[in-house]
Chains A and B, each alone.
Chain A
Amino acid sequence: MNKLWLIIQREYLTRVKKKSFILVTLLTPLGFGLLMFVSGYLASNSMNSKKRIVVVDESKILNEEDLSNSQYDFDITTLPLNEIDTSYNQLGYDLLLNVPAINDLSSTTHNVDFYSKEKLSLVALQQIEGKMSKSLKAYKISKSDIDQETIDQLEINVTLDNAVTSDLDGDKSDKVSIGVASALSYLMGFLMYMVIFIYGSMVMRSVMEEKINRIVEVMISSVRPFQLMLGKITGVGLVAMTQLFIWIILLFGIMAVFSSTMTPDPSIAASGMGEAGEMIAEMGAQSDMTNLLRGIKSLNWLLIIPSFVMFFLGGYFIYSSLFAAVGSAMGDDLGEGQQLMMPILIPVIIAISLVFPVLNNPNGNLAVFGSMFPLFSPILMPARLPFDPPVWQVILSMIILFASVAFMIWFAGRIYRVGILMYGKKVSFKEIGRWLFVKN
């Protein structure tokens, strides 16, 4: 036990003390923050630059005030098209629109030509089209017998509200909170995928290094191969937890700084002020931010956070022990051992490709069975967690996962103890299968 602890200590400390580890751990969230800052800055800048649009309106049906907003500045010109179509640029306009007269009120299509020096984005085109349609529709209504009020009354807007109440606080889940749940699902599923590959291959590389520079024979003349493997996996696991923990803290910190400097939205400040802040936010308009916060609050965090930690641990251990076994079987040549990676790659890729179907129906058969299979559950169950899966399923999946972890560590240990002493031979799966039954 004491030796296992020594191994864990070494595996952890040598990694955490490395300059590259410290740099990556600190710079990744900073880089992320910088990216957010730059893209936010660029977006707000592009919004500030108004586009000036000049409109040739033959039939005099448009109104400058109705069309203009913070992004577009419309000017209706009295000049005919052939006088302005070459000079609109010199006059300081970005865009020239030619709206022909509407002769046939029953026609439902109307072509508006635009002249522009630069290509317009799809979004801009759609926005301008929308504005034109609205104005022209209003014109058509004014020419008909129906008044605008009647038209307005005919409008109806249906919102689908999920009536299922969550167990936590009785909040109704709505579209926003489902959106938040989906985003969180993706985030957790993808995070698990990253964790498995980043730290799993860290374990594999380290096993290979020990084998290649032959320290392993010195080591296992002092400790059991199983202790060495378990110590290594645990040590790297602690590295993973340290790194993710620091990342999460830093990301939250950066996001807090970012959101307070970039968007002085009262609702965000409110989120930091507890009950009182909540009331301020409630009083404010139903902005997107408050909806988002409500969505975040409506999630069953008491289930999600501890469960995610458990699936994180289970997923890490089940895959990293596989990585350790593969690393022990590999020779000096990484390329040669590529096919040995297949048994790891295939289940991970299947699991990550099942995330989307599972999200479509988070409590369907595929989701339930997929999240029970121990090689998939570390990715699929976290993806289901925001959708309030039945607790017994979460617990059953955890039990299956941890039983499989125990089996997998034993299984990997059988391969590892033989593999680390095998040199200069390309091994096949058949050979590895035989190792399982080799006596010590």
Chain B
Amino acid sequence: MAILSLQNVVKNYHNHTAVDNVSFEVPKGSVFGLLGPNGAGKTSLIRIITTITMADSGQVLLDGEPINFNHPSQIGYMPEERGLYKKMKVGEQLLYLAQLKGMPHKEAKQKLHAWMDKFDIVSWWDKKVEELSKGMQQKIQFIATVVHDPKLLILDEPFSGLDPINTNLIKDEIDQLNKGGTSIIFSTHRMEQVEEVCENIILINNGKKVLEGNVDQIKIDHKENLFKVEFDNSVLNIEDLNNFQVLQSKRDGIDVKLVDGMKPNDLLGSLIKSGAEIKSFNEVLPSINDIFISRVGESQE
């Protein structure tokens, strides 16, 4: 069952198509990566999902229901450009935002205290937002995003501007929420983060879907039969490897690409025959970053 399902969603602006016939599904309880370069249409998509705007055509289903204005209370959205009322006190502000998500005053207050306790920032309740550092404000923003226990959490570049300690703190919290059943959409252009946390991704460029699927599967689908072998290179007679495409030859090993239906065992056999003392033998899978660059380059041509 999908928490979120988009079918043939189109969004046109005055002179360009921001979202061009995009379909995808976010499985319930998963961590989903929404990837794409700047201006690809990520924000336009998120705005449609969060009911800020509406799709020109196509369908958006949240938990099986066509998206409507009752849904914002089930969604938590942290935009890339963070914003809080600078002159308001932290507590008042969080209460206000939580109540706008439909929480009763009392419950909101309890939940907020629990969250602030967790982050050890209860003493900030009466501080004005403008008195806090940027990192502190991010924590407040995060609490505002998750306090109403959303079914679906949408985080747009959640770690930008956070120091490593706070990044880990927020990461752990996201992990906890996910374990508790919250579905999470990450929107980012920083691919290394995606590989760590996302099970499924969609890659969009120029408003179109370029790629979709399970991260591991995508990597396997895009593998280029690259192998990395480590051994003492000094004894190797390179001519023994004439049948292989050696990409790089270093002192402690080589990178080899297998072509023409050759198997890894053929490479190993040749190496052993040449007398090399093999320390390791690994298949190199492409990083999402590499796939991203190659596919985006492709789709631009």
A440 beta carbon closer than 8 Å to chain B: yes
Q: Which of B50, B56, B86 contacts A213 (CB 8 A)?
A: B86
What total count of A-B pairs have CB within 8 Å?
60
Tell me the smallest distance from the CB of B79 to a CB of chain A, in Å: 4
Is B69 within 8 A of A439, CB to CB? no
Closest to B49 in A: A221
Closest to B73 in A: A222
Chain A residues within an 8 Å CB radius of B100: 3, 6-7, 219, 222-223
A421 beta carbon closer than 8 Å to chain B: yes
Q: Which of B53, B85, B99 contacts A440 (CB 8 A)?
A: B53
Chain A residues within an 8 Å CB radius of B72: 221-223
Chain B residues within an 8 Å CB radius of A10: 96
A218 beta carbon closer than 8 Å to chain B: yes
Interface string of B69-84 (1 = CB under 8 A from A): 1001101011101111
How many residues of chain B have a CB within 8 Å of chain A? Answer: 30
B166 beta carbon closer than 8 Å to chain A: no
Is A221 within 8 A of B99, CB to CB? no
How many residues of chain A have a CB within 8 Å of chain B? Answer: 23
Is A217 within 8 A of B81, CB to CB? yes
Is B101 within 8 A of A214, CB to CB? no
Closest to A434 in B: B14
A224 beta carbon closer than 8 Å to chain B: yes
Chain A residues within an 8 Å CB radius of B79: 214, 217-218, 221
Is B83 within 8 A of A216, CB to CB? yes
Is A218 within 8 A of B144, CB to CB? yes
B54 beta carbon closer than 8 Å to chain A: yes
Q: Which residues of B contact A (CB under 8 A)?
A: 14, 47, 50-54, 56, 69, 72-73, 75, 77-79, 81-88, 96-97, 99-101, 141, 144
Closest to B13 in A: A438
Tell me the smallest distance from the CB of B139 to a CB of chain A, in Å: 15
6 A-B pairs with CB atoms under 8 Å apart are: A217-B79, A217-B81, A218-B77, A220-B52, A222-B73, A421-B47
Chain A residues within an 8 Å CB radius of B14: 434, 438
A197-B278 Cα distance, complex, nearest whole Å: 82
Closest to B79 in A: A217
Closest to B105 in A: A6
Q: Knowing A6-B96, A434-B14 touch, does A221 contact B50 (C-beta < 8 A)?
A: yes
Q: Which 4 A-B pairs have the closest CB atoms?
A: A214-B83, A215-B83, A214-B81, A222-B100
A14 beta carbon closer than 8 Å to chain B: yes
Tell me the smallest distance from the CB of B81 to a CB of chain A, in Å: 4
Q: Knowing A218-B77, A421-B52, A440-B53 touch, does A224 contact B83 (C-beta < 8 A)?
A: no
Chain B residues within an 8 Å CB radius of A218: 77-79, 83-84, 97, 141, 144
Is B52 within 8 A of A217, CB to CB? yes
Closest to B84 in A: A215
Is A224 within 8 A of B69, CB to CB? yes
Q: Knowing A6-B96, A6-B100, A216-B83 touch, does A221 contact B51 (C-beta < 8 A)?
A: yes
A7-B85 Cα distance, complex, nearest whole Å: 13
Tell me the smallest distance from the CB of A4 to a CB of chain B, in Å: 10
Q: Which of A14, A219, A421, A440 contacts B87 (CB 8 A)?
A: A14
A190-B171 Cα distance, complex, nearest whole Å: 58
Chain A residues within an 8 Å CB radius of B50: 221
Is B52 within 8 A of A214, CB to CB? no
Tell me the smallest distance from the CB of B195 to a CB of chain A, in Å: 28
Tell me the smallest distance from the CB of A46 to a CB of chain B, in Å: 48
Closest to B99 in A: A6
Tell me the smallest distance from the CB of A17 to a CB of chain B, in Å: 10
Tell me the smallest distance from the CB of B10 to a CB of chain A, in Å: 11
Residue among B51, B81, B99, B100 having the largest count of chain A Cβ atoms under 10 Å: B100
